[in-house]
Amino acid sequence: MFWGITEVKFMASKKIKQSKDLPAQISNEFRRLNDLGFKVFSFNNLNSISFGLKYFVHYIIVSKKYLVFIEIKNKNDPVTLDQKELQLFISHLTSLNKSLHYHVVRSLSDCRKLIELLIKKKL
């Protein structure tokens, strides 16, 4: 089913477990993409990870058309220099391949807009 999606309507109004934590709410929204034929990889966990992944993005979403790198940031969490370097590197690759994208998600609204664009294949 991963590659077989032709048209899927995303129900942004679908009730999900509400969390007091915005990153958890965003995570729930991205996880729902797995049910719609996307592959969502999370690199955002509480466990210690190797130094090589320390400044890596929080999510990678794969579809038949896109490979999307997603960084989650709130108002009190500025982009670090290492994260900016990764963003610039991916942005350079995007200029060579229009299927690659990098997005910073700062709110649940940003997340839902991005998901809608992914489903409509209009990134």
d(CA 33, CA 44): 16
Q: Is residue 16 part of a domain?
A: no
Q: Is residue 12 part of a domain?
A: no
d(CA 89, CA 65): 20
Q: Are strands 100-105 and 67-72 parallel, antiparallel or unpaired?
A: parallel
Q: Looking at the 3D structure of the chain, how many domains does it have?
A: 1
Q: Is residue 13 part of a domain?
A: no
- Residue 32 pLDDT: 94
35 Cβ contact list (under 8 Å, min separation 6): none
Q: Which token pair is 120?
A: 């409509």
pLDDT mean across residues, the chain: 81
Intervals of the chain under pLDDT 70: 1-20, 45-53
Q: Is residue 9 part of a domain?
A: no
CATH number of the CATH domain containing 63: 3.40.1350.10
Q: Is residue 2 part of a domain?
A: no
Convert the pLDDT of each residue in 45-72 to its tens digit. Answer: 655 445 556 778 999 999 999 999 999 9
H or E segment and range at residue 71:
strand 67-72
- Residue 22 pLDDT: 83
- Residue 65 pLDDT: 94
Domain span at residue 111 reads 22-120
- Residue 74 pLDDT: 81
